[in-house]
Homo-oligomer: A and B are copies of this chain.
Amino acid sequence: MKIGELAKRSGCSIQTIRYYEKEGLISAPARTDGNFRVYDTPALEKLAFIKNCRALDLTLDEIKQLMALQHLPGTPCEKVNDMIDAHLKIVESRITDLQKLHADLKVLRQKCGHARPIEQCGILDELSPKSHSRN
């Protein structure tokens, strides 16, 4: 199949597929006489693997590492488990950060009801260090 069909079937855009090739996540496919890329089913499967990983927010580098490990049979899979564990921690700390941010924004939002003239906006006042220290 050509790149357009692969894009439709995989759910990746054409540019993304070419980008993955350039970054070494998928291997360069065969070409037609007219220099068009031609893909086989394994290529589609690789893209599906990448998509699954990206859905979990693994970086392209991490995905590359996973694919490299797959081609070293016999290796213990500790590295895979460690990667997922590390990832879990990052996600957890991002959630914590965002929850703090959310609380801060809620507090800020309550500084202003609505439709005051801008000079008296409680939000802007809260954000300004100058008028703030004066109160």
Contact = CB atoms under 8 A, between A and B. Distances in A.
Interface stretch (A12-20, A23-31, A109-117): A109-117
A115 B117 CA distance: 64
Number of copies: 2
Contact of A56 (B74, B78, B104): B104
Contacts of A52: 127-129
B84 A117 contact: no
A8 interface: no
A76 B127 contact: no
Contact of A77 (B75, B87, B112): B112
A76 B116 contact: yes
Contacts of A108: 56, 84
A115 to B, nearest CB: 5
B102 A92 contact: yes
A116 B84 CA distance: 15
A123 B52 CA distance: 11
Interface of A: 45, 48-49, 52-53, 55-57, 66, 69-70, 72-78, 80-81, 84-85, 87-88, 91-92, 94-95, 98-99, 101-102, 104-106, 108-109, 112, 114-121, 123-124, 127-130
The 4 closest A-B pairs by CB, nearest first: A77-B121, A48-B129, A75-B118, A77-B118
